[in-house]
Amino acid sequence: MAPDGWTQAVRERLGLGRLLPLGGAGDGAWLAERAAVTVLRGAAEGVTGVGLGTLRIALNDPRSAGTSAVPPPPSALPPGPLRIEADFDATADEPLPQAAGRLREALLASASDGLGLVIAEVHLRVTDLLDAAPVSKDATGPTGGNGAGRPGPDGPRERAAAAAVSVPGVLRLTSTLGTPVHLADGHVRVELATAADHRALDVALAVRAAVAKSQDGHPTVAVLVTGIGQ
């Protein structure tokens, strides 16, 4: 890979943030932190009187993390409940605990019901009091990595790709970590972007089933969701 291409690949990989466990230890799915944060910011924009600042997602207690049932993507976090940490600004129109409670509920609902993340705690910190409600702004950016077309079913890699893109809710395959379909020693890893109106965990589980069915020899399958809605 040329130096410029290598640099771009590193930037894209780092831009994903942490690779978060999606669902539980047996679900074999991960979600890029960048994609999760984009969705959570969208949910926060619907909470009046608050403005979301820095937001990070990490394991709530790394010491109690489990072991995935399938080989994880490189540098992915092990399965375990997660913790959302966020800063926010709020107006003085209502007591701060009430504003924080509304924001917490919105983030929890989006993370769990909208994505499928297992959240143990949401820690919020007020950083400023506002004279007026913050103006909503689009904080999203590209979240899907490089797109991939719909390949025809030839070899095992092509069959896996075709099976994945046939699942409702899959927007496209992506290639931030390399090839969209990675094959090695009885294991298949598929990287993709999902539609915003589909729960990411549900799509990932359906992809795992479809890809496993497309292969010979009953391989294990992992899914990495790198983008949502883009």
pLDDT of residue 137 exceeding 60, the answer is: no
**Model confidence at 143, in pLDDT bands (50, 70, 90)?**
very low
* Buried residues in 94-118 as b, exposed as e (16+ CB within 10 A): eeeeebbebbbebbbebbeebbbbb
| Residue range(s) defining the domain that contains residue 124 | 33-66+78-130
172 lies in the same domain as 209: yes
Look at residue 164 and tell me if it is in a domain: yes
Look at residue 73 and tell me if it is in a domain: no
Q: What is the mean pLDDT of residues 128-134?
A: 72
Look at residue 114 and tell me if it is in a domain: yes
Q: What is the mean pLDDT of residues 191-220?
A: 97
**Model confidence at 132, in pLDDT bands (50, 70, 90)?**
low
192 lies in the same domain as 220: yes
83 lies in the same domain as 147: no
Q: Determine the Cα–Cα distance for residues 31 and 118; give it in Å rounded to an integer.
A: 12
pLDDT of residue 5 exceeding 70, the answer is: no
59 lies in the same domain as 106: yes
- Lowest pLDDT segment from 28-37, 136-145, 147-156: 136-145
Q: What is the pLDDT of residues 17-62, one digit of tens each?
A: 999 999 999 999 999 999 999 999 999 999 999 999 999 999 999 9
Look at residue 96 and tell me if it is in a domain: yes
Per-residue model confidence (pLDDT) at position 15: 79
Per-residue model confidence (pLDDT) at position 129: 84
SS3 readout for the chain: CCHHHHHHHHHHHHHCCCEEECCCCCCCEEEEHHHHHHHHHHHHCCCCCEEEEEEEEEECCHHHCCCCCCCCCCCCCCCCCEEEEEEEEEECCCCHHHHHHHHHHHHHHHHHHHHCCCEEEEEEEEEEEECCCCCCCCCCCCCCCCEECCCCCCCHHHHHHHHHHCCCCEEEEECCCCCCEEEECCEEEEEEEECCCCCHHHHHHHHHHHHHHHCCCCCEEEEEEEEECC
| pTM to 2 decimal places | 0.86
Q: How far is CA 7 from CA 33, 67, 179, in A?
A: 21, 32, 17
CB 23 within 8 A of CB 125: no
- Lowest pLDDT segment from 69-78, 107-116, 142-151, 206-215: 142-151
pLDDT of residue 78 exceeding 70, the answer is: yes
Q: Determine the Cα–Cα distance for residues 99 and 11; give it in Å rounded to an integer.
A: 36
Give the total number of structural domains in the chain: 2
103 lies in the same domain as 151: no
